[in-house]
Structure 1
Amino acid sequence: MKILLIGRGKMGKLIQSTAKAAGDEVVAAFGHDDLGKLAGLGKVADVVIDFSRPEALPAVCEYVRRTGTPLLSGTTGYTEAQKAELFALGSTVPVLWSANFSLGVAVLYRALRTISDVLKPDFDIEITETHHNQKADAPSGTAKLLVEAIDPAHALTPVYGREGNCGKRGKDEIGVHALRGGTVAGTHSVHFFGPDEELEFTHRAASRQIFVNGALHMARLLPGQPAGVYDLQKILFGE
């Protein structure tokens, strides 16, 4: 597989080394300092893999539309308008975006979709996420993904941290709390607090390698697929 990589940070470097070890070829890699070169580049790869920042989206979209190259994106921090722009590419090419390409997180998402409606009437729900001190966005894209799994109808009100005399916790709240420090690759916990009992789900990433392995696996499935927006859950579980 030939890869055009957007993003030369820690994830980008790990994608390059992992792809090379697997026999894939990263034909070009662009960062924020030379992203403008995309405008003069033709189709050179089987797939574009984007693990950069939201501000790179216009250049990435222009390239994908012009060349028809499938896109896999793991970039987080998008606004809803930016997500709409990204998904609009599905009218011409296969597009797969996920805030987290870990198999464990995908299973956690599915589990939360299954059990949350049973617990929501009587349980308070809080999410905590912990990442390294270099992470730029908060809450994490994975935390937002888990909120969506729990509350797809958006009936609950997210509360991002609490401070001062904020009063009693409302029944329609879902707390989302971000911790930053050290070199933590990513820990996400979902707490269900009920009358005299608590249920907790926790996923811990020991390294970024799990995200890279998942992203490369999914990227190999995109070339040759019909245009459209692909969902990680549907690919994994055949829904």
Structure 2
Amino acid sequence: MTNAGDVQLTSVILVGGGRMGKLIAQKLDADGGFAVEGIYDVDNADELDGRAPVVDLVIDFSNKAGLPHVLAYVERTGAALVSGTTGFDDEELGRLRALGQKTRVIHSFNYSLGVAALKRACAQAALALGEWDCEIVETHHNKKVDAPSGTAVLLLDAVDPNHECAVAYGREGMVGERPAKEIGMHSLRGGTVAGTHEVHFFGTDEEVCLTHRATSRQIFVNGAVAAAKRLLARKENGFYTFDQLMFE
């Protein structure tokens, strides 16, 4: 904790100096309960290995290349970690989960409360609609570097939690009839779209489409800071999901 007069502020390191990082820094400053002690990015993430101050909380919205430095810092200092970085593989996600044995950790590909509700709705729809065909379409701005989006991966897990279906990442050529146990995953890129996700369920003569549209990144910023507060309020170490912190 950092003292500001008689007020105890939560000390924070931000990892990620891009658009999300700047918005989060502004949100933390406006909140009044946080003190940002440093901002790092991929080009100087190695400073976390020894020269960075010890803080209460790390918020990481950077590139996956910085993950080893973030993990080492959090393990060394015991700081709580809010991670919103996308593009992690299963091994990297496993390292984040394991870190929950030593401190409080949350990772989510999306910090929108609306997306969290969409995820729950998709899980219920998948149960109710049984053998219907399912396709996921995500659209983002032309600067996004990973595909499919982390949110699309979350939605895929919601509709197929046991990973029983094959995933078709787009289709081309003479692909034949659509297999029953297949989920299509499609990524569109263009303009300045903050994020649109659609989950389509196709039955005989009918279709259900569940959609979430983000009109600005501020929704993810607000959710990340809200999740940080709830994470800090937890007394027990552990790896938490956004759903756990916001709905339980």
Cα distance per residue 1:26-66 (max 9 Å; x no partner): 11100111111111146532210000111111100000000
TM-score (norm: length of structure 2): 0.93
Give secondary structure in 2 for the equivalent of 1:198.
strand
Aligned-partner Cα distance in 2 for 1:64–1:186: 30
1:170 to 176, 179, 187: 179
Residue 104 of structure 2 is matched in structure 1 by: 94
The number of residue pairs the alignment matches comes to 237
Give secondary structure in 1 for the equivalent of 2:232.
coil
167-176 or 108-117, which deviates more: 108-117
Aligned-partner Cα distance in 1 for 2:246–2:24: 21
1:148 to 157, 164, 181: 157
Cα distance per residue 1:159-188 (max 9 Å; x no partner): 000001111111111000000011100000
5+ residue gaps, structure 2, are: 1-9
Q: CA deviation at 1:236?
A: 2.2
Residue 57 of structure 2 is matched in structure 1 by: 47
User: One-letter code of the match for 1:48?
Assistant: V
User: One-letter code of the match for 2:163?
Assistant: H
Aligned-partner Cα distance in 1 for 2:240–2:27: 23
Residue 105 of structure 1 is matched in structure 2 by: 115
Give secondary structure in 2 for the equivalent of 1:177.
strand
Aligned 8 A contact 1:47 1:222 in 2: no
User: One-letter code of the match for 1:40?
Assistant: G
User: One-letter code of the match for 1:88?
Assistant: A
Aligned-partner Cα distance in 2 for 1:169–1:99: 29
2:212 to 194, 203, 225: 203
Aligned 8 A contact 1:42 1:67 in 2: no
**Residue 51 (structure 2) pairs with residue 38 (structure 1):** no
Residue 237 of structure 2 is matched in structure 1 by: 227
Aligned alpha-carbon RMSD (Å): 1.1
User: One-letter code of the match for 1:81?
Assistant: E
Give secondary structure in 2 for the equivalent of 1:220.
helix
Aligned 8 A contact 2:199 2:210 in 1: yes
Residue 76 of structure 2 is matched in structure 1 by: 66
Give secondary structure in 2 for the equivalent of 1:133.
coil
Q: CA deviation at 1:22?
A: 1.5
Aligned-partner Cα distance in 2 for 1:79–1:45: 27
**Residue 146 (structure 2) pairs with residue 137 (structure 1):** yes
Aligned-partner Cα distance in 2 for 1:236–1:14: 21
5+ residue gaps, structure 1, are: none
Identity of aligned residues (%): 51
Give secondary structure in 2 for the equivalent of 1:145.
helix
